[in-house]
C-alpha cells in the first residue's frame, strides 16, 4: 500500500519562530506530496525579507529546478524586463512560487512542464503562508492562473480580473499573467500586448505598495 504523504511541517516550524533560511532548509526535506521524487531540488523563495512586493508564480521550471532559484529561466528574463519596465527595483521584490518542486513529464530527452494539481497546491501552501508571514509584503502579485486561484479561489479569472486591487484577508493582492504567457504568445503583436499587460499590472502593484 502506498504510504500517505507526510504533513507539511511549515506551520509548525513557523510557530517555533523559524527564520526564512530555516524554513528553506526544512523545505529541502519536504515530502508532503510526491513532487519531490522527480525534481532535482526544492526551489524556495528568494529576495529581500523587507520587500514591499511578493511575486508568486506557479512552480519552478526546468532551469529553476536545476539551479535551485526561482525565475532564473526564460520566464524570469521576461519578468526582470517587465519589473524594469514598471520601474520596480529587484531589491524591493521577493520571488516565490505556490508549488516548490518542479512537476514535469518526459518528452523525448526534454522535461516538459506539467501543471500542478490541486492536491500539490494544497500540500505546498503552508510554505507560501510561512513566507508571507515572515516577509509581510504590502502587496502580493499573483502571476498566472494557478497562483491566482490558489489565493483567490477557483472561480478567479486572470484575464478578466487582472490588475484589480483585491483585499485578501487584510492584504492586497493584484493578479496578472504569468511571464511565460509572453513567451508562448502566438505572434509578435500578441507578445507585445501581453508584455504591456504584465508591465501595467506590475506598475499598479507598485503604486498600491507605495500608498
Q: Which of 13, 124, 147, 198 binds ligand SF4 (CB under 6 A)?
A: 124
Positions in 127-166 near ligand SF4 (CB under 6 A): 127
Q: Which stretch binds ligand SF4 (CB under 6 A): 24-32, 70-78, 177-185, 194-202?
A: 24-32
Q: Which of 11, 31, 40, 161 binds ligand SF4 (CB under 6 A)?
A: 31
Asked whether 23 and 130 are in contact (CB, 8 A), the reply is: yes
In our burial notation (b when 16+ CB lie closer than 10 A, e otherwise), range 148-174 reads bbbbbeeebebeeebbeebeeeeebbb
Please report the beta strands in 28-169, taking only residues with DSSP state E, as ranges in sequence order: 46-47, 53-57, 93-97, 104-107, 110-113, 139-143, 166-168
* Shortest Å, Cβ 10 to ligand SF4: 9
How much of the chain is in helix, strand and coil states, percent to nearest 5?
Answer: 45, 15, 40
How many residues are recorded in the chain?
211
Nearer to ligand SF4, 120 or 178 (CB): 120
**Cβ contacts of residue 196 below 8 Å, gap of 6+?**
none
The distance of Cα 128 from the centroid of its chain, to the nearest Å, equals 9
- Residue 95 touching ligand SF4 (CB under 6 A): no
- Residue 23 touching ligand SF4 (CB under 6 A): no
Q: Which stretch binds ligand SF4 (CB under 6 A): 18-26, 71-79, 94-102, 145-153?
A: 94-102
Nearer to ligand SF4, 99 or 199 (CB): 99
- Residue 24 touching ligand SF4 (CB under 6 A): no
**What is the binding site for ligand SF4 (CB under 6 A)?**
8, 27, 30-33, 35-36, 42, 99-101, 120, 123-124, 127
Amino acid at each position: 500500500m502506498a504510504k500517505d504523504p507526510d504533513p507539511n511541517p511549515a506551520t509548525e516550524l513557523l510557530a517555533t519562530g523559524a527564520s526564512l533560511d530555516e524554513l528553506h532548509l526544512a523545505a529541502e526535506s519536504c515530502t508532503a506530496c510526491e513532487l519531490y521524487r522527480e525534481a532535482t531540488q526544492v526551489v524556495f523563495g528568494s529576495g529581500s525579507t523587507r520587500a514591499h512586493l511578493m511575486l508568486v508564480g506557479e512552480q519552478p521550471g526546468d532551469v529553476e529546478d536545476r539551479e535551485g532559484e526561482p525565475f532564473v529561466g526564460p520566464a524570469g528574463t521576461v519578468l526582470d524586463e517587465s519589473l524594469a519596465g514598471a520601474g520596480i527595483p529587484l531589491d524591493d521584490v521577493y520571488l516565490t512560487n505556490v508549488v516548490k518542486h518542479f512537476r514535469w513529464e518526459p518528452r523525448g530527452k526534454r522535461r516538459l512542464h506539467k501543471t500542478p494539481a490541486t492536491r500539490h497546491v494544497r500540500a505546498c501552501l503552508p510554505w507560501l503562508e510561512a513566507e508571507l508571514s515572515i516577509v509581510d509584503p504590502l502587496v502580493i502579485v499573483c502571476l498566472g492562473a494557478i497562483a491566482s486561484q490558489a489565493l483567490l479561489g477557483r472561480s478567479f479569472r486572470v484575464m478578466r480580473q487582472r490588475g484589480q486591487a483585491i483585499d485578501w484577508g487584510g492584504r492586497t493582492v493584484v493578479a496578472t499573467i504569468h511571464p511565460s504567457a509572453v513567451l508562448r504568445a502566438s505572434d509578435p503583436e500578441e507578445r507585445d500586448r501581453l508584455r504591456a499587460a504584465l508591465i501595467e499590472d506590475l506598475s499598479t502593484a507598485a503604486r498600491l505598495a507605495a500608498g
